[in-house]
Amino acid sequence: MSYETIKFDVDSDGIALITIDLPDQSMNVWNAQLIEDFEKAVDEVLSNDDIKGAVIASGKDSGFMAGADLRMLGDSSENPSVQEVYEGATRLNKLFRKMETGGKASKDLSKGAYTKPFAAAINGLALGGGLEVCLASHYRVASDSPKVQIGLPEVLVGLLPGAGGTQRVPRLAGIQNAMQMCTTGSSMKAEQAKSQNLIHDIVPHDELIAKAKEWVRANPKVRQPWDEARFKFPGGQGAMDPRVVPIFAGSAAMAQKQTFHNMPQVDKILSCIYEGSIVPIDVALRIESKYFTSLLLSDQTQNMIRTLFINKQAAEKGMARPKSVEPVKLQKVGVLGAGMMGAGIAYVTARSGMEVVLLDRDVDAAEKGKDYSRKLNDKGISKGKMTKDKSEEMLARIKTTADYDDLKDVDLIIEAVFEDPKVKADVIKKTEAVIGKDVVFASNTSTIPITSLAKNSERPTQFIGIHFFSPVDKMPLVEIIPGDASGDLPLAAALDYVKAIKKTPIVVSDTRGFYCNSVVVPYLNEAARMVKEGINPALIDNCARNLGMPVGPLALMDETSQELGYKIMMSAREEMGDAYQPTGVDDLLEKFVVELGRKGRKSGGGFYEYPEDGGKKYIWPGLTEHFPLADTQPSAEEVEERLLFIQLAAVAKCYSDDVVHDPQSADLGAIFGWGFAPWTGGPMSHIDTIGVEEYVRKAEALAQQHGERYAPPASFRKKAEEGGKFYAAA
Ligand code: NAD
């Protein structure tokens, strides 16, 4: 028997070791070849009388298995029929069921028949389909390695656990734990998984396989608990059990609160768990496959898989990286400026194992920046996510200084000093005087064009923008901005660096605000305009949340601060002179900042009032005095449409002007840069899904009603006439 993705060995006791080890991949995932090989291996174990049972293990140090290769699922280009999709969706369910029943009928097992044992030896992360094969094994033992992570993250990409996860988890851990695990997608450590009955034991890492084999040897005849005659779910099940009825009722309300019913996969997971709890396992698995199929066939799930998984991974692997440049050495990074951004950049860099030279005007200021890392580490220690030793090691990698000589052996520079061209020019000069000739200089400026900053550099071909978002430790996106003179080296170095700190890069053009801020600013301005029009501020923010945005635009403006908006407006006015186009909210910003002193959340509040005792924020009662409510309020649908279409208009303009070069980057930047409703798969996916023609029709209607800022660009009108989709064309 030959296999491509697994190793199959049988020891002298007749115990098979099925080691999953995908060639040329750092992590195991279910793909067509592995499914075929695994089925062959299961058949061999079941049919060969010399084999007593099997241990399933991983050949990767990186972990057990990360789930399924979603490229398998995220390609609807061949337009399969519903029947074909359903058949595909049931394949793993059937295979795992064969493994756990030995191919015997459930009724025979419940009458006392047995099958051969399969044990899963979990050496690291086991997520999604990687966990589901373990749950279908009769015994699950995990190593005591801190790398062990157990979870079902399918919900995060628009899917549900479709290989038995929604059925076996409630049967092992109870309904409530299953709902929590399947609907949040968060993973847990081995100890928690054991306490929830999801794994049987935790053993020393180097004894993992031996312990799994020991169990198989001692348990030659087995069947799953749910194949026992009078199996009961721990904690109750079904439509009548008073222990679970309130859980089912509450879960629907919780789903509404957390997802605003924008995430159909969450509702379907709850249906799988509920419906599956009142029928036997074989029927329950078919119910799961049915819901899984309906998700796979929806545009929304396909969009989410494409953006949140396939394109995100491709971007992170460096799709945009120039192939001709060798991997850039990144052992030591110089971070200039230890303010809010520099401190965050130093943290994410040192956290990823690189050394950091953190430079500010004096050592005290640099130390203050390093304190940020200290605080985040202490938080991690108090939550048990980091050890004191690891924290010390990490902090030792950050050297604080005010002396440029300390930068002499760094491999990359990231500059985050004041947003002042003169200060930046001075810093560039001093830095280039000491760093190596080939070292790339990256600026984190948010408003100064990279091309103009590069003019201060002796080596403009090595100059680039790496634009982070605040707070750096939390925000996953990084914009990379080549200037006119940038060569391949800085682009490669920037992408290698972003990969090393495990964030998602997009490459965008060197225009004012780059991509994300070119959309966020008009979006926030539109919300402020609505306030001026007398639309109830609570309606505005609630509609944004209902649309799937993580926070309302008025709350977001308070965070980014009215003061920053005011400063950006003033500098744009100064720079652009007569060409400056008023935004429609210049007067509102001036009123907030200059007249009312409401400069944002951190300084005196904004649209909201923030109680000093940390209580819940509420709309500033004085707001209606300055911006009275209109007698007639628009419907929620109208407000939502405006909030959505003002973002689509700005994205369309950026795409049309080549500020962002492809739909993939436009969608990634939107979701990870400013939290554009993830259920859409991103603004370009959304335009494709509603149809370019329909987008143009609606955008034109809104432009007529509210102003030209909603109007679609000419290239979008043309596309609407020609037909087709942006993704298909890309
Ligand atoms: P900040 O004011 O918090 O920090 C700037 C730091 O630079 C200060 O610690 C200051 O002492 C130091 N500094 C000033 N002049 C210096 C010099 N000559 N030599 C060494 N250090 C010097 O500012 P910030 O918010 O961290 O922003 C820094 C940069 O990042 C700016 O270019 C800004 O546009 C950009 N940025 C900011 C954000 C944001 O949300 N704040 C987001 C993306 C990018």
pLDDT digits (tens, 9 = 90+) for 293-333: 999 999 999 999 999 999 999 999 999 999 999 999 999 99
**Looking at the domain assignment, is residue 439 inside a domain?**
yes
Atom nearest to 343 CA in ligand 1: 26
Number of domains observed in the structure of the chain: 3
| Structure confidence by residue, pLDDT tens digits, 227-285 | 999 999 999 998 889 999 999 999 989 888 889 989 999 999 999 999 999 999 999 99
Ligand 1 pocket, CB under 6 A: 336-342, 359-361, 365, 416-419, 423, 426-427, 444-446, 467-468, 470
Same domain, 546 and 482: no
- For tokens 């649309």, the residue is 547
**CATH, residue 604:** 1.10.1040.50
Percentage of the chain lying above the pLDDT 90 cut: 91
- Please tell me which residue in 100, 132, 479, 641 is annotated as part of the active site: 479
pLDDT score of 77: 57
**Looking at the domain assignment, is residue 113 inside a domain?**
yes
Q: What one-letter code names the amino acid at 700? A: E
The reply to whether 355 belongs to the active site is no
Same domain, 14 and 122: yes
What value does the mean pLDDT take over residues 385-413?
A: 97
pLDDT score of 70: 83
Separation of 340 CA from ligand 1 center, angstroms? 7
What tokens does 351 get?
């956290």
Residue 260: left if φ>0, alpha if ψ -120 to 50, beta else—which one? left
Rounded to whole angstroms, the Cα distance separating 730 from 727 reads: 5
Chain centroid to CA 215: 38
Separation of 420 CA from ligand 1 center, angstroms? 9
Rounded to whole angstroms, the Cα distance separating 668 from 100 reads: 40
The reply to whether 446 belongs to the active site is yes
Rounded to whole angstroms, the Cα distance separating 689 from 670 reads: 16
* Residue in 340, 363, 481 to alter for ligand 1 test, most ligand atoms within 8 A of Cβ: 340
Same domain, 491 and 532: no
Same domain, 387 and 285: no
The pTM for the full model equals 0.92
- Please tell me which residue in 145, 446, 456, 457 is annotated as part of the active site: 446
480: containing domain: 332-507
Percentage of the chain lying above the pLDDT 70 cut: 99
Angle at 559 between CA 557 and CA 561, to 5 degrees: 65
- Please tell me which residue in 177, 288, 444, 467 is annotated as part of the active site: 467
**Looking at the domain assignment, is residue 324 inside a domain?**
no
Sorted by sequence, the CB contacts under 8 Å of residue 403 that are 6+ apart come out as 359
Same domain, 293 and 349: no
pLDDT score of 238: 85
Separation of 462 CA from ligand 1 center, angstroms? 21
Same domain, 86 and 209: yes
Same domain, 131 and 244: yes
* Residue in 360, 362, 479, 512 to alter for ligand 1 test, most ligand atoms within 8 A of Cβ: 360
Contact 255, 270 (CB under 8 A): yes
Residue 604 banded pLDDT, cuts 50, 70, 90: confident
Q: Are strands 15-20 and 6-10 parallel, antiparallel or unpaired?
A: antiparallel
Rounded to whole angstroms, the Cα distance separating 130 from 161 reads: 11
What value does the mean pLDDT take over residues 113-121?
A: 97
Same domain, 660 and 540: yes
Closest Cα to residue 602, out of 471, 434, 423? 471
Cis amide prior to 471 (ω within 30 degrees): yes
**CATH, residue 181:** 3.90.226.10
Residue 606 banded pLDDT, cuts 50, 70, 90: very high
What tokens does 273 get?
């768990």
Residue 74 banded pLDDT, cuts 50, 70, 90: low
| Protein residue with its CA nearest to atom 42 in ligand 1 | 469
The reply to whether 289 belongs to the active site is no
pLDDT score of 76: 54
**Looking at the domain assignment, is residue 394 inside a domain?**
yes
Contact 335, 399 (CB under 8 A): no
Q: Which of 80-89, 112-121, 291-300 has the lowest mean pLDDT?
A: 80-89
pLDDT score of 239: 83
Separation of 416 CA from ligand 1 center, angstroms? 5
Same domain, 588 and 695: yes
Residue 670 banded pLDDT, cuts 50, 70, 90: very high
| Structure confidence by residue, pLDDT tens digits, 218-242 | 999 999 999 999 999 999 998 889 9
DSSP H or E run through 126: strand 125-127
pLDDT score of 225: 97
**Looking at the domain assignment, is residue 548 inside a domain?**
yes
What tokens does 576 get?
């652009």
Same domain, 530 and 484: no
Same domain, 546 and 470: no
Same domain, 493 and 598: no
Sorted by sequence, the CB contacts under 8 Å of residue 379 that are 6+ apart come out as none
Rounded to whole angstroms, the Cα distance separating 478 from 496 reads: 12
- Please tell me which residue in 93, 123, 517, 536 is annotated as part of the active site: 517
